[in-house]
């Protein structure tokens, strides 16, 4: 996942490799906390070239992950993939003493490196994390669980009476005003 800066030329250098999720600390942490389970190694393809004083990395990453549905709590598998372009510049990002800095669009795809090697691992892991759903769903039509008995409503109706109940006002359910 590292490349020597001296090995990068104007002609794109193609790098293709597979790495287990454990090779990326932030992804290993996601698996350790149970948020997701990586079922395959990360398939990474990068095209690295020098361009106008910076290094351009155009790449893609794909991995199969097991999630737990946020509505019905059933595990399901999904393919995550991301195509990205990053620009690496030599130097350090900390150039200002200001507390707040407004980022331009090009700053969002810019990465700074120091030394004679570039490690692509943090940005590859970041691309995977950005593709993870906030609330994973096994399907758009997932009905979830019955709030009364906990039955999976995707497997059929449970027979419980479900009235529409607004949770926002549940604290006022037994509220009585005395005159």
Region 143-171: mean pLDDT is 81
Would you state the pLDDT for residue 125? Answer: 93
SS3 content of the chain, % helix, strand, coil (to 5): 20, 35, 45
Q: What is the pLDDT of residues 94-132, one digit of tens each?
A: 555 556 655 455 445 678 888 888 888 999 999 999 999
**Owner of token pair 């389970």:** 37
Q: What is the pLDDT of residues 36-66, one digit of tens each?
A: 899 999 999 999 999 888 889 999 999 999 9
Distance between CA atoms of residues 35 and 18, nearest Å: 22
pLDDT over 60 at 139, yes or no: yes
Would you state the pLDDT for residue 84? Answer: 92
Would you state the pLDDT for residue 89? Answer: 86
Distance between CA atoms of residues 47 and 152, nearest Å: 46
For the question of whether the overall pTM of this predicted structure is more than 0.85, the answer is no
Distance between CA atoms of residues 48 and 32, nearest Å: 32
Q: Look over the chain and give the mean of its residue pLDDT values, rounded to a whole number.
A: 85
CB atoms within 10 A of CB 44: 21
DSSP E strands: which ranges in the chain? 2-4, 13-19, 37-38, 42-51, 54-68, 75-90, 110-113, 117-119
């Amino acid at each position: 996942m590292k490349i020597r800066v001296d090995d990068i030329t104007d002609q794109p250098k193609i790098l293709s490799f597979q790495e287990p999720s454990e090779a990326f600390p932030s992804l290993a942490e996601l698996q350790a906390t149970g948020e997701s389970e990586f079922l395959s190694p990360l398939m990474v393809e990068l095209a690295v070239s020098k361009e106008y004083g910076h290094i351009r990395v155009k790449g893609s990453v794909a991995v199969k992950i097991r999630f737990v549905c946020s509505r019905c709590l059933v595990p399901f598998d999904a393919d995550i993939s991301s195509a990205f372009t990053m620009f690496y510049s030599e130097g350090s990002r900390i150039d200002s003493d200001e507390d707040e800095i407004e980022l331009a669009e090009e700053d969002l795809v810019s990465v700074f490196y120091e030394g004679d090697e570039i490690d692509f691992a943090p940005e590859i892991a970041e691309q995977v994390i950005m593709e993870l759903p906030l609330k994973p769903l096994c399907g758009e039509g997932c009905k979830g669980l019955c709030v009364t008995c906990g039955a999976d409503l995707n497997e059929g109706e449970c027979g419980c009476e479900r009235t529409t109940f607004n949770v926002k006002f549940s604290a006022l359910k037994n509220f009585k005003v005395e005159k």
